[in-house]
Amino acid sequence: MTSTAEDNLIEKIKSLPLPQHVAIIMDGNGRWAAKRRLTRLKGHQAGAEAIRRTITAARNTGIHYLTLYAFSTENWKRPKTEISGLFNLMTRFLQKETPQMIKNNIRLLTIGDLSKIPEKPRKTLEDTIQKTSHCQDLTVIVALNYGSRQEIARAFERLLETKSEKDKNILPEDIEKFLYTSGIPDPELLIRTSGEMRLSNFLLWQISYAELYFTQTLWPDYNEVDFFNAVIDFQKRKRRFGGL
Ligand code: FPP
């Protein structure tokens, strides 16, 4: 697509209310690679390029939060070589992209239990988080060693520590304060690629009222126009939040 056609899509998006927060279950790197008789790692490398394109697209529309499911608590079941390959890829990606993120006013945050992430990628993440902490246009939130049930259980554990024996009253807002996403608005749009239609333990609390958008596109093929089309689809939906 020409950049004029892309500009037209961006103009169309900007003329209607935007979602503040879009979350994505990036799926299909392995199948993309298998179709090409490539290694799974090649699929993840192509997936990292799709991440770059999607961040650019989100920034160009003016969306403020983009959450990406990069590594789940269940992904530790994958072969050790794939896991180390993914973390190496993420480390290189961050080292290369951090100056560009600062220039484009993009902040990095993570959700999930980083304590289990190997030292090198963890330190690189911490470095990028620190260097981009003042950036305000777009916040990219990478879910790493993240599981929604674990997040909710952890929030309860922390909430209960603040409560007395007699105080049995728990409000949703009390739980929210202890989620990884505390202070971040809930996603209004959740996208999943590769044709799978499940939530895979991702942001189960936060997507209570999100619009769901599924596409057949495998993540490494995902591009700016795919992202714009998902946002345009969202803008056509009637959101009633249980009302009429
Ligand atoms: C999904 O495909 C793959 C992922 C969610 C891994 C994404 C992570 C990266 C591309 C590493 C770089 C990360 C950052 C944050 C820069 P799959 O392996 O589940 O595919 P399949 O279902 O077809 O096997």
The candidate with the shortest Cα–Cα distance to 24, out of 167, 158, 202, is: 202
Q: Which atom of ligand 1 is nearest to the CA of 196?
A: 22
Q: What is the spatial distance between Cα 20 and Cα 226, in angstroms, rounded to a whole number?
A: 18
The candidate with the shortest Cα–Cα distance to 202, out of 149, 244, 138, is: 149
| Digit-coded pLDDT (tens) for 122-174 | 999 999 999 999 999 999 999 999 999 999 999 999 999 999 888 889 999 99
CATH number reported for the structural domain that contains residue 218 in this entry: 3.40.1180.10
Ligand 1 pocket residue status of 97, Cβ below 6 Å? no
Question: Would you say residue 105 lies in a domain?
Answer: yes
Q: What is the spatial distance between Cα 72 and Cα 112, in angstroms, rounded to a whole number?
A: 8
Question: Would you say residue 10 lies in a domain?
Answer: no
* pLDDT for residue 3: 82
The yes-or-no answer on residue 27 being catalytic is yes
46: containing domain = 15-147+186-233
Q: Which tokens sit at 185?
A: 């608005």
Burial classification of residue 154, based on how many CB atoms lie within 10 Å of its CB (0-12 exposed, 13-18 middle, 19 or more buried): middle
Distance 44 CA to ligand 1 centre (A): 5
Q: Are 106 and 132 in contact (CB under 8 A)?
A: yes
Question: Would you say residue 171 lies in a domain?
Answer: no
* pLDDT for residue 169: 92
The tens-digit pLDDT sequence of the chain (244 residues) is 668 899 999 999 999 999 999 999 999 999 999 999 999 999 999 999 999 999 999 999 999 999 999 999 999 999 999 999 999 999 999 999 999 999 999 999 999 999 999 999 999 999 999 999 999 999 999 999 999 999 999 999 999 999 988 888 999 999 999 999 999 999 999 999 999 999 999 999 999 999 999 999 999 999 999 999 999 999 999 888 888 8
Which of 7, 8, 27, 229 is labelled catalytic?
Answer: 27
Which of 8, 75, 186, 226 is labelled catalytic?
Answer: 75
Distance 103 CA to ligand 1 centre (A): 26
Question: Would you say residue 243 lies in a domain?
Answer: no
Which protein residue has the closest C-alpha to ligand 1 atom 24?
Answer: 30
The yes-or-no answer on residue 105 being catalytic is no
Which protein residue has the closest C-alpha to ligand 1 atom 6?
Answer: 70
* pLDDT for residue 79: 97
* pLDDT for residue 2: 61
Ligand 1 pocket residue status of 53, Cβ below 6 Å? no
The candidate with the shortest Cα–Cα distance to 75, out of 22, 123, 35, 112, is: 112
Q: pTM of the full predicted structure?
A: 0.96
Question: Would you say residue 161 lies in a domain?
Answer: no
How many domains does the chain contain in total?
1
Question: Would you say residue 152 lies in a domain?
Answer: no
Question: Would you say residue 89 lies in a domain?
Answer: yes
Question: Would you say residue 180 lies in a domain?
Answer: no
**In a mutational test of the pocket of ligand 1, which residue from 27, 108, 140, 194 has the highest number of ligand atoms less than 8 Å from its CB?**
27
